A = this chain, B = another copy of it.
Amino acid sequence: MATASSRLRRLVADELGECCDADVDRRLTELERLADDAFADDASRPVFAVLGNETRYRLARVLAVADDELCVCELEPLVDVSESAVSHALSDLVDAGLVSRRKDGNWRYYDSTDLADGLFAAADRGASEESEVSDQ
């Protein structure tokens, strides 16, 4: 079997025509720096994971579309899971910074944050661009 490093050496040789150890080392250094930059903040991955679940995604979407904040009892009929599941989902959304919570007596009001709005906008923008391409 070919090791990862031997494969990288052949790749560099292919791209440069020929290659010496220094060329391979340089490429390796570039890749390490790249990884450092990319993994500098692993903090945003949980945000994506939270929105990957259908219940949480739907709740976040509704809150993003709504003009104002919504109560739990208004959100519950919009998703087909138990009251407890809704509460769990909303807590996860709050923890991820995608939703804000406000208490008023026995009622809890939730609203979407700028982070959620921005992510949905980016996702929708990407989706529309994709359909434009496929329409051509």
Q: Interface of A with B (CB < 8 Å)?
A: 4-5, 7-8, 11, 14, 27, 31, 34-35, 37-39, 41-54, 57-58, 61-62, 64-66, 71, 73-74, 76-78, 83, 97, 105, 107, 113-115, 118-127, 129-130
Assembly CA distance A73 to B34 (angstroms): 15
User: What residues of B have a CB within 8 angstroms of the CB of A46 in the complex?
Assistant: 52
Q: Which 7 A-B pairs rank lowest in CB-CB distance, beginning with the nearest?
A: A115-B126, A49-B52, A48-B51, A44-B123, A118-B122, A38-B61, A52-B52
Contact between A74 and B11, CB atoms less than 8 A apart? yes
Q: How far is the CB of A82 from chain B (nearest CB, A)?
A: 11
Min CB distance, A34 to chain B, in Å? 6
For A11, give its contact among B107, B114, B129 (CB under 8 Å).
B107
- Which of B44, B66, B125 interacts with A124 by CB under 8 Å? B44
User: Which residues of B sit under 8 angstroms from A42, Cβ to Cβ?
Assistant: 57
CB distance from A114 to the nearest CB of B (A): 6
A75 to B66, CA, bound (A): 41
Contact of A45 among B7, B35, B57, B125 (CB under 8 A): B57
Residues in B whose Cβ lies below 8 Å from that of A126: 44, 47, 97, 113-115, 118-119
Query: A6 → chain B, closest Cβ, in Å?
Result: 9
